Amino acid sequence: MSVDTKKVVVIKVGSGTSNVSDQELDQRWISELTRIPGVEPVLRKPGHFPTPQEFSDLVDADASAVLGAFVASSLLTEDFFDAHPKLEYYAGQAHGYEAMDFSGTRARGITVVNTPYGANTVAEYAFALLMEVYHHVAQRDAMVRSTDWQAPEAPHYMRAYPTQDEAFGKTIGIFGFGKIGHCVARIANGFGMRVLACDRYVTNPPEYVTMVDFDELLAESDVLTLHASLNPSTKNLINDEAIAKMRDGAVLINTSRGGLVDEEALARALKSGKLMGAGLDVLQDEPPLPTNPLLSCENAVITNHVAWLTRGSRLRQVDVAVETYQAFLEGHPINVINAVRE
């Protein structure tokens, strides 16, 4: 490796879906990174969430940058930094990241970024969950296929069992107004919904979005959708106290992190009828434990943490990661998460 060459280690997870292969992703990483002059890409494939020592061993000692990695306090330690003295850039693999003390990275001059590649994808999925809660499409499909419509006791064909609701004219509250939140707002506006959002860092929203505080978001929303990171201030954000402030018959959507929701409290609200329904792509424990109270809630739609997982988003993840790294090399870093926020 020449003096001017920067070694970039990519921590690559599997494709996770059948319509994009690991080989295609490998080729995408290599081809996109080699477009940047002076970059030597190296792929590492741990196959599982690594221990701190395994992670340190995956990253070459002379690496300048790490892409596609995990932003976790268990990995970004003083020992890791000491073992990688040339490291200047560290990129998380996703929108979300673990809340942690970034002072060590700032002191060492290491830029830490996230990779916001799936905003539209996750926003679409949030609405897919909402449509399922409101319209029960999968349940109706199963009913049509399983019913003997020629039988005398067959139900009337054009009846809504169970009843439906609609998004038009309702108020949606978006907690966390980053890239995904903005995409959710745009879709909601297209559905004819009143759009509220809560995010202390956003001061100039689109004209069709009204920024409110958390209590007003709870009180005014027919649909509350979560798009915030999990940290000590947001853990179990949706608890008994918060649910009590929500509108009767409201819907909760969560495509962010399961830890934002007190699952016992949500289950009580769903079973009592306080909340009409919930659409959840994330849970506190994944896969769920058999004791998870939400599994027995018929008005909860639960999917297996796949809101982000489309062919387009997997390929876009690579492109955004490389574009973000190139912006750093050009002197105007973007998506920085370890900057000091006033």
**Under CATH, to which class is 6-118+310-329 assigned?**
alpha beta
- Average pLDDT over the chain reads 94
Domain ranges of the chain: 6-118+310-329, 119-302
Q: In percent, how much of the chain has pLDDT > 90?
A: 84
**6-118+310-329 and 119-302: same fold?**
yes
What CATH code is assigned to 119-302?
Answer: 3.40.50.720
Token look-up 């599997």 returns 14
Token look-up 């929203």 returns 205
Check: CB of residue 198 under 8 Å from CB of residue 224: no
Q: CA Rg, the chain, in Å?
A: 22
pLDDT band for position 341 (50/70/90)?
low
User: What is the pLDDT at residue 342?
Assistant: 46
Say how far apart CA 261 and CA 252 lie, in whole Å: 10
b (16+ CB within 10 A) / e for 124-151: bbbbbbbbbbbbbeeeeeeeeeeeeeee
Active site residue 257: yes
Q: pLDDT per residue over 66-79, tens digit each?
A: 999 989 899 999 99
Catalytic residue among 247, 257, 314, 316: 257
3-state secondary structure 42-54: EEECCCCCCCHHH
Sign of dihedral through CA atoms 10, 11, 14, 16?
negative
Token look-up 């890239």 returns 179
Active site residue 124: no
Provide mean pLDDT across the span 192-208.
Answer: 95
Provide mean pLDDT across the span 111-134.
Answer: 96
Structure tokens at 226: 């979560």
Q: How many CB atoms lie within 10 A of CB 259?
A: 17
User: What is the pLDDT at residue 48?
Assistant: 84
Q: pLDDT per residue over 243-269, tens digit each?
A: 999 999 999 999 999 999 999 999 999
Provide mean pLDDT across the span 273-296.
Answer: 97
Give yes or no for residue 84 having a pLDDT over 90.
yes
Say how far apart CA 193 and CA 214 lie, in whole Å: 19
pLDDT band for position 1 (50/70/90)?
very low
Active site residue 305: yes
Say how far apart CA 310 and CA 160 lie, in whole Å: 31
Catalytic residue among 54, 286, 298, 311: 286
Give yes or no for residue 3 having a pLDDT over 60.
no
Give yes or no for residue 14 having a pLDDT over 80.
no
Query: CB burial class (10 A; 0-12, 13-18, 19+) of residue 35?
Result: exposed
User: What is the pLDDT at residue 110?
Assistant: 97
User: What is the pLDDT at residue 157?
Assistant: 93
Provide mean pLDDT across the span 22-29.
Answer: 93
